[in-house]
Amino acid sequence: MGMLLAFAPFIVFAVLDRLVGSLWGLAAATAVSAVLLLRDVLTPGKQPKILEMGTFVLFGGLTVYLWLMGASLSVIGVRVCVDAGLLLIVLASMALRTPFTLQYAKEQVPAELWNTPTFLHTNYVISGAWALAFAVMVVAELALIYMPQMPHRAGVIVIVIALVGAFKFTGWYPTRVRGSNAT
């Protein structure tokens, strides 16, 4: 549930972006990100997570940029920025040897497993699946921008498939790993 809640700012952004525009969607996503960070800071035994910190910086930075610069980006242009930023957060977490899923997994797995090669490998694989999903989303959004003849629905379908695939893989893969280790 924790990792799904971390995507709340993106859901808020996606909904409000369509209803009231990018600037308000980004501002609301920034506020939701701030609330998630505050929750972790104020809850004993919790700590802010890489994804949530990166999300706050990403949405906050884009909000300030659009507001101060009076910049106008298309809906798809803003989504490219958001999804590319998310891809960078995930890749940076892996490069820093702390795949973003690790912090969420530690909340669900006994401490004695945290430093095992299988646990670490599982989190790199799941984070890699999310990186792949975000890369596919960025490519689909860029295609919508630079290939206007492409049906908008096709890009949206690719984006939805990438997200659903990453969510399903996140639930399936640890079960598969546990099953193969039990034999």
Q: Are residues 86 and 121 in the same domain?
A: yes
Q: Are residues 66 and 102 in the same domain?
A: no
* Domain with 107 in it: 75-183
Q: What percent of the chain has pLDDT over 90?
A: 64
Identify which has the larger pLDDT, 108 or 57.
57
The answer to whether the predicted template modeling score (pTM) of the entire model surpasses 0.75 is yes
Mean pLDDT of the chain: 90
Query: What per-residue confidence (pLDDT) applies to 145?
Result: 92
Q: Are residues 169 and 91 in the same domain?
A: yes
Question: Which of 53, 72, 91 marks a domain boundary?
Answer: 72
Q: Are residues 114 and 172 in the same domain?
A: yes
Query: What per-residue confidence (pLDDT) applies to 118?
Result: 94
| Tens digits of residue pLDDT in 23-64 | 899 999 999 999 999 998 999 988 899 999 999 999 999 999
3-state secondary structure labels for all residues of the chain: CHHHHHCHHHHHHHHHHHHCCHHHHHHHHHHHHHHHHHHHHHCCCCCCCHHHHHHHHHHHHHHHHHHHHCCCCCHHHHHHHHHHHHHHHHHHHHHCCCCCHHHHHCCCCCHHHCCCHHHHHHHHHHHHHHHHHHHHHHHHHHHHHHCCCCCHHHHHHHHHHHHHHHHHHHHHHHHHHHHHHHC
Q: Are residues 1 and 57 in the same domain?
A: yes
Question: Which of 72, 89, 123 marks a domain boundary?
Answer: 72
Number of domains in the chain: 2
